[in-house]
Structure 1
Amino acid sequence: MKKLIALLSLVFIASGVYALDGKEIATSAHNVSKSKTTHSAVSMTLVDNNGKEDVRLLEEFGKKENDLSTTVMVFRSPASVKNTRFLKQENDGSADDKWIYLPALKRVRRIASSDGSKSFMGTDFTYDDMETRDVERDIHTLLKEEAVNGVDCYVVKAEAKDLNDSQYSYRVSWIRKDNFVPIKMELYDSNKELLKVMKVLDLQNIDGFWTPMEVVMENVQTEHKTILSIKKVEFDKGVNPKVFTQSYLSSGRI
């Protein structure tokens, strides 16, 4: 009897009975280990369909508290965007709160949910793209397993449970099997046509945290793309909590 049970167990494993499903994979990706604080210098390059580049430099701060993340971005150059500041605060079970300070207006503006599909600072990322999306908001389906640049990945399709809860008809992610970090994503528009492709060009393990050092988001319909490159990053070095406030957003001072 013991031999029979052992044999059946092997058969079940071989047949995929114990394989992860789409939701389990998405949950593992969402729960990838993150530091308590981050501080980084980032280069943002916008490339139009003629190859013309617009390079920006920004400073980014992040913290994680009670499993919820908060992020602040401060644009340092060029002059056209200098001192623009952005704050994103993750909420438990609901959409993130987002605010932006535009120097020309000299005031902080809350980003309404209706503005989620709008471009963030002229990039190929929308405000919703920058959101920490809760796993429960989508239906996750494992489509297949496939290698990307020699790395084995799960390919998972995500569709919003509420059709009004996403600007995309669906998203397809390539999630690494070894560390559950997404390294490629395809985003489809409301007509189910491919709109954008996100790729992680450089992924490094720094101080025990998997870090996308270079990411490109390309709009395949307009042939415009945005490249984010981390030039320097520190984990768990401590960040003044006053940075993560609307007061800092408006003044730039702690």
Structure 2
Amino acid sequence: MIHFLYFILFHFFYSFQVNDAKDIVKKADEKMRGSTMQAEIIIKTIRPTWSREMHCKIWEKGNDLALILIQAPVRDKGISFLKRKKEVWNWLPTLERTIKLPPSMMSQSWMGTDFTNDDLVKESSVVDDYNHKIIGDTLIQERSCFIIQMIPRPEAAVVWSKVIICIDKKDFLELHSRFYDEEGDLINTMNSFDIKMMHDRIIPTRFEMIPADKKGQKTIMIYKNIQYNSPIADNFFSIVQMKMLK
């Protein structure tokens, strides 16, 4: 009888932990997205012998719709990316060509940065495509954080075999993430900084993606401004629209 009660309590606690971990990840994801989000960002790609800066606009609606427009430098101006559910397109104005990106390209570098295509257009979902588990806690930037392990669901087509994320317990801010490949090797580490009030919420406004095996290399993404929950029609997220953005 004691063993049976222990078994029941163990599985109740495990189930609570899993559901609680997923809820924490969902809150952190919704904190950055809102129901809609429009933002201007700067992306700095840093290498040992050179650096490059891009200026972009982003529009997002829920988890299924997103548009990214590159405004600078001049040679990349007008390049855009569209996501509708699990489909992603890239518009190249100099070639006047639209390319549909296959799932195999989601793990590749986005515009030569240390972010992947999936990091930016988010074909995969951190909430729906992973199983979540709280594995500890830690202190980051004097904020108490959950350490959560994310393992892909068997049916999910995702880039990473494991992700470890640290989420602030008070404001649900994702402050640190580690991304692992199929062999279990650490590939990228992302840290978040410059926490401030942006529009109607507190969020990190600077993100640094650092490759594990490339010394002196990283990519910094900075939010210049951001607007949440302003109405955006679904038909804004179209191939026609992505060609017209300026």
Partner of 1:110: 100
Q: What CA deviation, in whole Å up to 9, does each residue of 1:88-141 have, x standing for no partner?
A: 23x3xxxx3211111232122111112111111111111222315153432222
- Which residue in 1 is equivalent to 2:4? none
Hey, what's the Cα distance between the residues in 1 that align with 2:237 and 2:208? Answer: 26
Which residue of 211, 214, 227 corresponds with 1:222?
Answer: 214
Distance 2:19 2:107 in 1: 25
Amino acid at match of 1:202: D
Counterpart code for 2:245: G
Provide the C-alpha distance between the structure 2 equivalents of 1:63 and 1:163, rounded to a whole number of angstroms: 25
**What corresponds to 2:181 in structure 1?**
189
Matched, 1:153 2:152: no
What amino acid is aligned across from residue 29 of structure 1 in structure 2?
Answer: V
Partner SS for 1:248: helix
CA-atom RMSD in angstroms: 2.7
Structure 2 gap ranges (5+): 1-8
Q: Which residue of 1 aligns with 2:236?
A: 243
Which AA in structure 2 matches 1:200? S
Q: Alpha-carbon deviation of 1:238?
A: 4.2
Q: What is the DSSP-based 3-state SS (H/G/I as helix, E as strand, rest coil) of the residue aligned with 2:75?
A: coil
1:42 aligned residue: 41
- Which of the residues 80, 86, 89 maps onto 1:99? 89
Bigger mean CA deviation after superposition, 199-208 or 170-179: 199-208
Structure 2 residue 225 is matched with structure 1 residue 211: no
Distance in 1 between the 2:91 and 2:198 partners?
31
1:138 matched residue in structure 2: 130
1:70-81 correspondence to structure 2 within 5 Å: 70-81=65-76
TM-score (norm 2): 0.82
Distance change (3 Å), C-alpha of 1:164 and 1:36? closer
State the TM-score, normalized to the length of structure 1: 0.80
Deviates more, 1:132-141 or 1:176-185: 132-141
- The answer to whether the 8 Å contact 1:49/1:222 transfers is no
Deviation of 1:240 (Å): 6.0
- Matched residues in 1 for 2:93 and 2:142: separation? 45
Cα distance change on mapping 1:155 and 1:19 into 2, 3 Å: farther
Seen in structure 2, the aligned counterparts of structure 1 residues 55 and 136 have a Cα distance that, compared at 3 Å, is closer
In structure 1, the partner of 2:21 is 25
Greater CA deviation, 186-195 or 199-208? 199-208
Equivalent of residue 86 in structure 1, options 71, 81, 87: 81
Unaligned runs of 5+ in 1: 1-11
- Letter aligned with residue 106 of structure 1: E
Equivalent-residue separation in structure 2 for 1:62 and 1:164 (angstroms): 22
Q: 2: distance between equivalents of 1:116 and 1:183?
A: 23
C-alpha distance 202-69 of structure 1, shift in aligned 2 (>3 A): farther
* CA distance 1:99–1:206, change in 2 (3 Å): same
Runs of 4+ in 1 over 6 A off after TM superposition: none
Which structure has the greater CA radius of gyration? 1
